[in-house]
Structure 1
């Protein structure tokens, strides 16, 4: 009988711990960047912030005459999705989730954690005259860096199994979100650039499969693939996932080691700086309309019901049991934490409503507010379990025979 949230292998736990440390630091940088953007955008110098966001760079002949805000969303986030793609492939090919019994729960929870928030948002926005159902995808994703930063701030001792589940859940719904972006929010398709993108993509794959990881060889091919995908009308971040899937699992760790700090420490915070600068003074205080409420409710209520409810259904239908020492309150706390949406939600908001539009501003207020409420509620629940988590952590780290491997993993 399978046990959801059961302890993984020691090698997998160590790898996940390394990932979480990097993402937690990145999440703290993300919080600082978002706070700086909000402060600047609501200061007497807000005009300078918006002017900086609109500075244009790049060759117009190649369809790359983009603003700094667009470079952050289309360019830097491609690095973020490249790392997410590597992580997802590694989990399902070489990680603990290659076992379908382990993969079922986080994948199902990720799907439920996307469908229910979309339904909550849609239900709110189709019942009022001034609703905007087009924003249904805004609350579907979980921001792993932001969520882990919350964990770091509240200083809980979340069990390794739950942390692994949270990471996998976030990676899976990031991938599903990029599928939504590619299918729903891409512009009219230009086939020639898309076909041409296969050439540098194939070259990148050929070199990666042969273990040739020199950036002098791979970066130009990756940039060419990204630029051609961008020119095709498909959102350029899709190129990051496509490139990641060509990397063999045996060498993906090397790519992750190089690029995860760049993704968590530079790409995501810079994007957040340009995306989170919403002016919420004056007339914008009236933004608590259906878009804002729909996004916030989707993140707080939809994510909690979607993740926890789907987990309950899987346990119920498969007769699985929670791992020993864990309770449903742990699952609820984790589901609440899944409502901390940020990076992908901000991106989808710009795609759904248009960057800087009233709808985009309203959605971003909902993203920031909903994420804050979800984080606070998660903190209350997880702090209530703090003593229990600390005891579990101490048991997992006990190494009585001194062989370097905790006794719980032997």
Structure 2
């Protein structure tokens, strides 16, 4: 969702080089795209029965209520690592990054809020009365930053670097909003004893951070126990990752080469981008793509609501919020970006994918899940193509302007 380019020159060897390669936005987007394509091909091939059998295979201890399907392990387990990296990113941005100063944070925060509220409103309006819409309105709220940054890196090569900074700031707040929705809307039957265990374990993690303890032999068991307790508490287990990420120290001590949050992000982001999120996509994106499925996206209110929220609601919400903030407050557009540039970046917000697929699984069941997922995939593809076209046009405009400036 919001990875950073980090200097790994001091690390040697092919493993470190491969990790550095996985950290680039373009590569992360391609890996995710490859996993999605594999899921779609497998689920729509003559071997679709094998895909469903693998996806629905149950593993894990029944006594701990952890006999989950492989798809559930990918959703609840692997995405917890992804959300831990998101939590690290959130903590760093809030403490020392783009969101640490209110004036600087105003524009991306407003853009993210507009990009969440308007899509939800559009979805509720288009899908009013449709079964499941009481929770499905949350599906188009999220933006997949890995895909969005990948498209920006490929198609917006000549745009100012402030475009990427603005998109990253927007994505951090968008991630926070999605996390809160998952915790509040999709948590049921809260078990107070297990929730108390989460609080105790999180407090222990925080205390170890304060005391500058670095041993993974302590942190890994605490993280696993926190995940299990969160799962037992009835709160979506991925929230455990966010919670621990937010409790991780982000300021380096004197004489310390890097803070724990930076060190953990170095180590875990390649696993998140190269394994955890693609495996989730492999199990989540395998939906039937046939005339009936595509017809449901176009004709069913649920499919229309999700698609309209992502394609229309996102760009209107993000661009409209930026327009209002610049008009009503002293805030200014990101340096070097024209209004058409902001529109192109706002279009990238419609690439929902990872968290939107998760929201679909949490909010719906039966045939409605397949319709919503097909709508997410189709709408994300349309938004990515439209954004890429706009970014290419804007890049050409910036190159022409640069050439005229050089000639002058």
Query: Scaled by the length of structure 2, what TM-score is found?
Result: 0.88
Unpaired stretches in structure 1, ≥5 consecutive residues: 1-12, 395-410
Whole-Å Cα distance in 1 between the matches of residues 331 and 362 of structure 2? 40
Whole-Å separation in 1 of the counterparts to 2:43 and 2:396 = 40
1:59 aligns with 2:61: yes
Partner of 1:231: 232
Shift of residue 59, structure 1, vs aligned partner? 0.6
Residues 16, 277 of structure 1: CA spacing in aligned structure 2 closer, same or farther, 3 A cutoff? farther
- Quick check: 1:260 aligned with 2:261? no
User: 1:194-273 residue pairs with structure 2 within 5 A?
Assistant: 194-250=195-251, 251=259, 252-273=261-282
Is the contact made by 2:306 and 2:372 (CA closer than 8 Å) also made in structure 1?
yes
Q: Distance in 2 between matches of 1:21 and 1:100?
A: 29
Contact 2:144 2:352 in 1 (8 A): yes
CA contact (8 A) 2:314 2:346 kept: yes
Q: Which moved more, 1:311-320 or 1:279-288?
A: 279-288
User: Judging changes above 3 Å, is the alpha-carbon distance between structure 1 residues 311 and 59 closer, same or farther for their aligned structure 2 residues?
Assistant: same
Match of 2:383 among 371, 374, 381: 374
Mapped to 2, the partners of 1:232 and 1:21 lie a distance apart of: 33
Query: Following the alignment from structure 2 to structure 1, what is the Cα–Cα distance between the partners of residues 164 and 21?
Result: 11
Q: How many residues align?
A: 380
Cα distance in 2 for residues equivalent to 1:374 and 1:16: 32
Q: Which secondary structure state, in structure 2, belongs to the residue aligned with residue 263 of structure 1? A: helix
Alignment deviations for residues 90-123 of structure 1 (CA, whole Å, 9 cap, x no partner): 1121113211111111111111100000000000
**Residue number in structure 1 paired with 2:11:** none
User: What is the aligned counterpart of 2:46 among 19, 36, 44?
Assistant: 44
Q: Is 1:275 the counterpart of 2:273 in the alignment?
A: no
Deviation track 1:349-403 (CA, whole Å, cap 9, x = no partner) reads 000003xx21111111110011011111101111001134558999xxxxxxxxx
Residue pair 1:108, 1:311 contacting (<8 A) in 2 also: yes
Question: Does the Cα contact within 8 Å between 1:91 and 1:98 map onto a contact in 2?
Answer: yes
Q: Which residue of 2 aligns with 1:305?
A: 316
Q: Does 1:331 align with 2:342?
A: yes
Deviations along 1:193-222, whole A, 9 cap, x unmatched?
Answer: 110122222222222233323322211100
Which residue of structure 2 lines up, in the alignment, with residue 185 of structure 1? 186
User: 1:31 and 1:392, CA in 2 relative to 1: closer, same or farther beyond 3 A?
Assistant: farther
- Spell out the pairing of 1:83-102 with structure 2 (5 A cutoff): 83-102=85-104
Pairing of 1:131-170 with structure 2 (within 5 A): 132-154=133-155, 156-170=157-171
Partner SS state of residue 362, structure 1: helix
Aligned partner of 1:28 in structure 2 is 30
Residues in 1 aligned to 2:273 and 2:72: alpha-carbon distance in whole angstroms? 18
Tell me the SS of whatever aligns to 1:249. coil
Between 1:166-175 and 1:210-219, the stretch displaced more is: 210-219
CA displacement at 1:49 relative to structure 2: 0.5
SS in 1 for 2:396: helix
**For the residues of structure 1 that align with 2:101 and 2:400, how far apart are their CA atoms?**
28
